[in-house]
A and B are shown apart, each in its own frame.
Chain A
Amino acid sequence: MGISIQNVSKRFGDFIAVDGVSFEVQTGELVALLGPSGCGKSTLLRVIAGLETPDAGAVIFNGVNMNAMSARQRRVGFVFQHYALFKHMTAEQNIAFALNVQKRGKKEIAERVGHLIDLVKMRGYAGHYPSQLSGGQRQRVALARALAAEPAMLLLDEPFSALDLKVRESLVGWLRNMHDKLNVTSIFVTHDQNEAMEISDKIIVINKGRVEQIGAARDVYEEPSNKFVASFIGNINIIDAHLEGEAIFVHGTQAKLHRPAGYDAPSGDIVLLVRPEDIGLQHVAEGPHAIPAVVTGIRYKGSVTEVDLQLTDFSLTALEFSKYIWTVGEKVFVNFKKYNVFAVGDSHHAIRRQLEQLGYIE
């Protein structure tokens, strides 16, 4: 089922949760709505499901405007953040609920429920109540329950946020397989960029109720369309610099970089955004633009090492793939292998602060 969201807005009192959001989801896609907590992504999902009424805009399924349709009529599969399983029903009864209210035949219900129980690997737990199941098991029952009536669309609200890391990792991959096997269109809400990048065909980055960028994981990571996306998706170093003609001068250094292709704003103050893995470290200066720095911290992570660096005016974090053993206090030279440039505009400090407050960066 193709979904079209057109200029949807939703406010709660003075708070604007969703602010003129538009996007398209193609049939069979698995799409992530990604953003920090409180950005309006869950509200948007509830608007699509018909659990909230938008103040403006349209929700369109396969060309049909759904605004006047109730959640019941929309027949989407919805998986709630805290599962919302019926506590007084067993796993099996939960899964059978949609079929029971549709008054399907007893034999058909039994067959379908049995099939779903196998699909979510809950054989042996069919008679258990939600309180007797683990988080991961509840999640799978919730998914089976949502799938029972064979919806053309599956909406998942933070489906993995309440699970511990190991369970989450295995379920994320499993959801992707499930999506491919069932031939549904899925939208899931997450605040976790790794989840979003790992399994979605398309990521819709949302901040403060607005769409910041829509694209495949690679596009969003490599070509962020603004500073928010760059800082939110993955780790990034934010560096003050000045653009003059074709040259970029990094504040507090002798370094001179080139204006990147495609950036055509006039000269002035800018910020450079550099991914940790795009920072090269050398022991001897290569060329006149290498920037001297001192190693101030090392975090060995097996396949990679995170290296904290202090420069004259600012500090950076680099990701090193070499097996070289770094020591604190070591003098090195830094160069930027790849960087994105943005106008200062609304200060990157504001974005930093927002992400800091939400606990996404330290």
Chain B
Amino acid sequence: MKKGDRILMVLVLGWIGVLVLLPLSGIVREVWANGLSSLVELLGQPTALRAFMLTFWLTLGSVVVNTIFGTMLSFILVRHSFRGKVFLEGIIDLPFAVSPVIAGFMFIILFGPRGWIGSWFDAQNIKIIYAFPGMLLATLFVTFPFVVREVVPVLREYGIDQEEAAMTLGASRWQTFWKVTLPSIKWGMIYGITLTIARAIGEFGAVIVVSGGIINKTQTATLLIHHKFMDFDFTGACAAAMVLAAVSFIILIAMQYIFSKRKV
């Protein structure tokens, strides 16, 4: 390696170290300093377990819904041309541009007990805001672009000739989709899902607005950390943060490993 390259590498690695690894190590050190007892204590709290489970369900819901609708939307965008397509493509990126807090606020206006649609649901005794449905909606909103953004370019490059080939070979539409199309766009979907998971686990702004942060009911993992921190339970917040960060980290590393093993 040339000298210039080495300096560049040290510089970049140093930057990543200060920006990413150092803060992470702070949390780990804090947990370690308490001899892991804070971790054991945390995992013994039903409230904490419930918060982690809520984050799990929200993440799972986002992955399922966004994968199905994101893939369908990708097909529409790539395979069809229609009026307003450019507009639709612009809208997909909207959740990136709008602050999650604003997103949460929009849902409250719409689905709140006195909201436009929410008042109807309220009359049927269905709670959306300050309940799971509202939190899922908010999480879906902020994670919506990932699958579409990853699948569209893959689908575009893939074209339609393999599908035409499958048809001339006697495959039905269903067989063509499962045996030809899906395996071809699989990696785009997996990457989109990974990003969706990471984002859903870490979502805070939109969720805090729509959830009300009711302990044992609408408290997610990130809200739990926030709550403990505001309660001056610094050790507990660190333990919860470490668990959450570790989960995200393991998922990302696992995905990277799977990607490195892909053959075609």
Contacts and interface: CB of A to CB of B under 8 A. Distances in A.
Contacts, number: 69
Interface stretch (B42-50, B172-180, B190-198, B211-219): B172-180
Interface stretch (A95-103, A179-187, A189-197): A95-103
B168 to A, nearest CB: 4
A78 B170 CA distance: 11
B169 A84 contact: no
Nearest to B160: A84
B60 interface: no
B175 A101 contact: yes
A166 interface: no
Nearest to B175: A101
Interface string A110-138: 00000000000000000001010000000
Nearest to A151: B168
Contacts of A149: 169-170
B168 A76 contact: yes
Contact of B161 (A74, A84, A98, A101): A84
B263 interface: yes
A77 interface: yes
A326 interface: no
Contacts of B263: 129
A102 B175 CA distance: 10
B99 interface: no
A51 interface: yes
A13 to B, nearest CB: 12
Contact of A72 (B168, B179, B180, B183): B168
A102 B167 contact: no
A349 interface: no
A129 B263 CA distance: 9
A101 B168 contact: no
Contact of A70 (B162, B165, B167, B184): B167
B162 A87 contact: yes
Nearest to B172: A72
A86 B264 CA distance: 11
Nearest to A72: B167
Interface of A: 49-51, 70-72, 74-78, 80, 82, 84-88, 97-98, 100-102, 129, 131, 145-146, 148-149
Interface of B: 161-162, 164-172, 175, 179-180, 183-184, 263-264
17 contacts: A49-B168, A50-B168, A51-B164, A51-B167, A51-B168, A71-B167, A76-B168, A78-B164, A80-B161, A86-B166, A97-B179, A100-B179, A101-B169, A101-B175, A102-B170, A129-B263, A145-B165
